[in-house]
Every structure is written in structure tokens, then in C-alpha cells.
Amino acid sequence: MSERRTKLRVPAFAAIAAGALGVLAAWPAYLGARAPAADPLALVTPAPVKPDWRVRDAQIAFLEARAGKVRGDMLTPRMLSAEYLQRYRERGDLGDVLRAEHAARRSLAALPRGNVAGEAALASALLTRHRFREAKARIAGARRWRPDDPGLAAEEAALDLEIGDVAAARRMITAHRGEVAFDVVAARLAEETGRLSEARALVERAMRRADAIYDTPAERRAWLHARAAELAFEANDLAAARAAANGALAIFGNDLRALTVLARVELAAGGTAEAEDAAARAVAIQPNPEVLGLLADAQAARGEAAAAAATRDEIFAVARLGDALHVNDRLIAVWEADHGVRLEEAYAIARRELAVRDDLYAEDTLAWAAARTGRWDVARTAIAKALRSGSRDPAILRHAAAIAAHAGSQTRGVARPAANASPCAGEFSTR
């Protein structure tokens, strides 16, 4: 990093710092003026948003300049890994995920034993790449050094859910019941087992807590609001979903998750122009198959046939070229199966995904693609494996009901939950 570039950044840092000090000076006075409330979290006023994303590149450049200059330095590459991964969450550049993984491995090479933060950093990068079992092994290694760390325990429970081990996740969550570090993963378990009200309450609590802390990254705060929007959408509470998604975007305007759920909400509500706008903004951040599919659906609903066809061609291009990390494979297969296009390709992708990522969602994707291509024996076997976890995910239940109906063996245990699932519920990027 040149001296000139360093000097040019100083006014920007100073301006951000001055603005932050100004809003923080007023914040405690406002807190003191609040009326008492029964819920302690209701007393907590949201902190001003920290514009940390504005200095992300400068922070990364500073750390990159330091990296490798001190022999045995494990701290700088670990910090660099976290910054790369945060920039990926903010901008969607998958190259940052690879950079984060490389930096974490450099930290561990410098200090192989007892480097808990390095293990956690590598686990985060592997999780983002959907290499869940490797990530879990890293978290397990970190927990050997810190067995009582609730954050690491929560990470392990979250990874158990990703690989479909609902029983293990439930045991861990039960053992840590009430601990704030578990709110988000406990909400995920509640969602997957059909307890949406509980899931929404847990995410609301986590969201209020994160909003009260100025140092919480803006993207993280927005993520929790977007998660609240997803759960409201699954509950067919469109007004709450729209409000939560817009709340996320007020915190961090480029939040991909919030734009995705907002596009879904507007499509479900018949607001095709608003859906097209939200989806187009999401595509500008990261043109993944999910948001491209939403954009194509909105364009088709508005009678923009040529634009919709062009957008669908982009989805096919993503499927044909693929991305180096294969994080979009599932989204491609589900979209093609849902829309009845390129079904043989969807089935091939689903089989490839299962070989790489054998979790309940991979089984569900294979089941749905198999059903859509008439491979009913494969579909029944795969959906049985997906249901074995105990998941009550609405999409899985809908697929299970369709497969059972074809076999002429609908039962209340499969068909009724699917029939009662929200008509708004859909696939989300976490899957």
C-alpha cells in the first residue's frame, strides 16, 4: 500500500469517526429518556449503524501489507480471514471466500496447536463453501481447547443442522437452553421442526441484542432483520416480512438476503414492479440462480417476455459454466425442477450435489429432481432420508406430499403438514 494511498484515506477515516462520535454522544441521552417496559430488551434503543463496510478495503489493504512480515505471526492472517469473509457477505465475491480460507490456513500453519481463533476462521470459510463436515471437524478441534465456549458449541449445533443431524443439534441446544449465543441456531431448529412462532421470537431477541451494540457489523445486523423477514414470510405474514426486509435494507442497503426475501414478498403480494426492482438490485450484487429466477418470474408476470427469457438464459449460463465453489448447484437444480425446464440437467446436478454435500437438503433436492423426471423409486428413497431427520421444512414437506400422492400412499403424517404449509414459503439461500 503506497504512502499516497494511505494519506488519502485519512480524511475518510476522520469523517466516519467524527460522525460516529456525534451520533454516539446523543444515543445515551435518548436511552435515558425511554419509558420502562416489561421486556428488558424493549428498553434497549438500537445503536446508530456503524458504517464499517466503507473502510473494509482499507482494513484489508492494511492487513495484507502486514501479512508475512513477522515470522510466526498467526494473528494478522486470522484477522485478514475474517475481513475477507465479511467483505464476501457484503459484496458476494466468491473469490473472497477462497482468500479467507487461505489466510486461515496460514494462521494455523504459524500456530498449529491451540489456535482456536484460527480453527474457527477456517471453519467459517469452509461453512461458506458448504463443506460442512470439514467445518465441523475444525470446530470440534477448537472445542477441545475451549470445551465451555458457548459460541463454539452453537457453531457445532448449526453444523449438525446443516448435515441433517437434527438429534445432535437438539441435544446441544437443549444443554445450552437460554444462552444468548444459541438464539439463532435454536431458531433454525424451531423453524425446521414446525415451531415458527418460537423461531420468530428467538430471532427477534437476537436482532434486538445485535441492534443495541454499535460495534455489530452493519451486515450482521441486517442479516438478522432479513432472517426475521424470512420467518415472517414462511408464516404468511407478508406485512411483517416486508417491514423486516426494509428494516434490513435501511441498515445495510446492499443486503442480498433482504432483497431476495423482499422480492419474494412482493411477488406473493402481487407487487410485480416492486418484486422486479428488488430482484434486479439483488442480481446487481450477486447474480445467483435464486435471484435471477425471481427476476425472471417478476418479468414474466409483468408481460416482459423477452426480458424474462434473457434472464432465464443467464440462469442456464450459470448452470453451464458453474462456479468454482459449486455453492449454486442446489439453487440451480431446485429452480429447474420447480419450473419444469432442463429436468435431466437438474437431476444430474442434484446427484453431483449429493456426492459433495450429503445433508437432508441434498436428499430433498435429489428427491424433487427425481420426481420431476419420473424416477419415482429414487424420489421415494431420497425423500425418506430427508424426512428421517425430523425436519418440518415446508419445501421438504411439499415435495414429500407430491411424491407420496403419486405413489397413492398419502398419509396424514406427510400430506397434511404440506397442505398446511404457507403458500408463500419458498427456498432460501441458506439451503
On whether the CB atoms of residues 126 and 95 are closer than 8 A, the answer is no
Say how far apart CA 430 and CA 327 lie, in whole Å.
Answer: 10
DSSP code of 41?
A: G
Please return the burial class of 219, using the count of CB atoms within 10 Å of its CB with bins 0-12, 13-18 and 19+.
Answer: buried
Task: Give me the torsion for CA of 390, 394, 399, 401, rounded to 10°.
Answer: 80
The pLDDT score that the predictor gives to residue 17 is: 44
* Three cell numbers, residue 341: 425446464
Q: Cell triple for residue 340?
A: 419444469
Q: Write the Ramachandran bin of 73: left for phi over 0, alpha for psi from -120 to 50, otherwise beta.
A: beta
Dihedral sign computed on CA atoms, order 407, 411, 417, 421: positive
Residue 11 C-alpha cell reads as 480524511
For the chain of 431 residues, list the mean pLDDT of each consecutive stretch of 10: 39 42 42 47 82 97 94 95 97 93 97 96 94 94 96 96 87 94 95 89 97 96 98 94 98 97 97 98 93 96 96 85 70 90 93 80 94 96 88 85 82 42 40 47
SS3 content of the chain, % helix, strand, coil (to 5): 75, 0, 25
Contacts made by residues 129-133, CB under 8 angstroms, sequence distance 24+: 129/97, 129/101, 129/325, 129/327, 130/325, 130/326, 130/327, 130/356, 130/357, 131/357, 132/159, 132/162, 132/163, 132/357, 132/359, 133/163
User: Contacts by 323-329 with C-beta closer than 8 Å and gap 24+?
Assistant: 323/94, 324/94, 324/98, 325/94, 325/97, 325/98, 325/129, 325/130, 326/130, 326/352, 326/353, 326/356, 327/94, 327/128, 327/129, 327/130, 328/288, 328/289, 329/353, 329/356
CB 360 within 8 A of CB 160: no
Structural contact between residues 395 and 364, judged by C-beta atoms closer than 8 angstroms? yes
For residue 364, give the amino acid letter.
Answer: D
Q: 66 and 77 in contact (C-beta within 8 Å)?
A: no
Helix/strand/coil for 37: coil
pLDDT the model gives residue 419: 35
Q: List Cα–Cα distances, 205 to 202, 212, 249, in angstroms.
A: 5, 11, 19
The DSSP 8-state label assigned to residue 42 in this structure reads: G
